[in-house]
Amino acid sequence: MNTADYAARFREIRDKVESQERLTLDDGIFLYDPKVPLQEVGELANLVRERMNGNVGYFNINTHLNPTNVCVYRCRFCAFRSDLRDPKGYAMNDEQILARGQEATENGCTEMHIVGGLHHQKPYEWYRHIIELLTEHYPKIHLKGWTAVEINWFEFQTKKTIEWVLKDLQAAGLGSMPGGGAEIFHPEVRDQLCEHKANTHAWLEIHRTAHEIGLRTNCTMLYGHVENAFHRIDHLLRLRELQDRTGGFQVFIPLAFHPENTKLSHIKKPSALMDLRTMAVSRLMLDNVQHIKAYWIMLGIETAQTALAYGADDIDGTVRHELIYHDAGATTPQFLTVDKIKDLISEAGREPIERDTVYRRIERDENDFTNWRSGESVDALAVS
**160: buried, middle or exposed (CB in 10 Å: 19+, 13-18, 0-12)?**
middle
In terms of Cβ atoms closer than 10 Å to its own Cβ (0-12, 13-18, 19+), residue 205 is middle
Q: 219 labelled as ligand-binding?
A: no
Q: Residue 150 Cβ, how far from ligand SF4 at the closest point, in Å?
A: 8
Smallest CA-to-CA distance from 288 within 211, 376, 180, 201 is with 211
Q: Which residue, 261 or 371, is less far from ligand SF4 as judged by CB?
A: 261
Pick out residues in 58-77 that bind ligand SF4 (CB under 6 A): 71, 73-75
Measured distance between the N- and C-terminal CA atoms of the chain, rounded to whole angstroms: 36
Three-class HEC string of 51-80: HHHCCEEEEECEEEECCECECCCCCCCCCC
Contacts of 366 (CB under 8 A, 6+ apart): none
Any contact of residue 11 with ligand SF4 (CB under 6 A)? Answer: no
| Shortest reach from residue 114's CB to ligand SF4, in Å | 13
Number of residues that bind ligand SF4 (CB under 6 A): 12
* CB-nearer residue toward ligand SF4: 61 or 165: 165
Indicate which single residue of 10, 30, 58, 80 sits in contact with ligand SF4 (rule: CB under 6 A).
Answer: 80
Q: Give the nearer residue to ligand SF4 in terms of CB position, either 58 or 295.
A: 295
Query: Across the chain, where does the E strand assignment appear?
Result: 56-60, 62-65, 111-114, 142-145, 217-223, 249-256, 291-292, 314-317, 351-354, 360-365, 368-377
- Regarding 127 and contact with ligand SF4 (CB under 6 A), the answer is no
3-state secondary structure of 373: strand
Reduced to 3 states (helix: H, G, I; strand: E, B; else coil), residue 360 is strand
With respect to ligand SF4, which residue has the nearer C-beta, 71 or 353?
71
The site map against ligand SF4 for 139-158 (x = CB under 6 A) is ----------x---------
The answer to the question of residue 310 lying near ligand SF4 (CB under 6 A) is: no
Which uninterrupted H or E stretch holds 104?
helix 94-106
Q: Kindly tell me which of 75 and 308 has the beta carbon lying closer to ligand SF4.
A: 75
Q: Is 240 in the site for ligand SF4 (CB under 6 A)?
A: no
Minimum CB distance to ligand SF4 smaller for 115 or for 141: 115
Phi-psi region of 132 (alpha: psi -120 to 50; beta: other; left: phi over 0): alpha
Q: 49 or 113: whose CB is closer to ligand SF4?
A: 113
117 forms part of the interface with ligand SF4 (CB under 6 A): yes
Measure the CA dihedral 252/114/264/37, to 10°: 20
Residue 67: name the closest of 84, 45, 89, 40 by CA.
89
Considering the rule CB under 6 A, would residue 298 count as an interface residue with ligand SF4? no
Measured distance CA(240)–CA(288) in Å, rounded: 7
Q: Contact 252/289 with Cβ under 8 angstroms? A: yes
Compare residues 149 and 304 and give the one whose CB is closer to ligand SF4: 149
335 closest CA partner among 148, 33, 103, 45: 103
Among 49, 64, 81, 291, binds ligand SF4 (CB under 6 A): 81
Q: Using CA atoms, how far apart are residues 76 and 68, in angstroms rounded to an integer?
A: 18
Which residue type occupies 383?
V
Please tell me whether 78 is known to bind a ligand.
yes
CB of 103 to ligand SF4, least distance (A): 23
Please pick, from the candidates 31, 36, 56, 78, the single residue that binds ligand SF4 as defined by CB under 6 A: 78
Question: Shortest gap between Cβ of 230 and ligand SF4 (angstroms)?
Answer: 23
Q: Which is nearer to ligand SF4, 199 or 246 (CB)?
A: 199
Q: Is 183 annotated as a binding residue?
A: yes
- Work out how close the CB of 116 gets to ligand SF4 at its nearest, in angstroms, rounded to a whole number: 7
For the segment 196-215, give every residue that binds ligand SF4 (CB under 6 A): 197
Residues in touch with ligand SF4 (CB under 6 A): 71, 73-75, 78, 80-81, 117-118, 149, 194, 197
Numbered residues of the known binding site for S-adenosyl-L-methionine: 77, 183
Numbered residues of the known binding site: 71, 75, 77-78, 183
Numbered residues of the known binding site for [4Fe-4S] cluster: 71, 75, 78
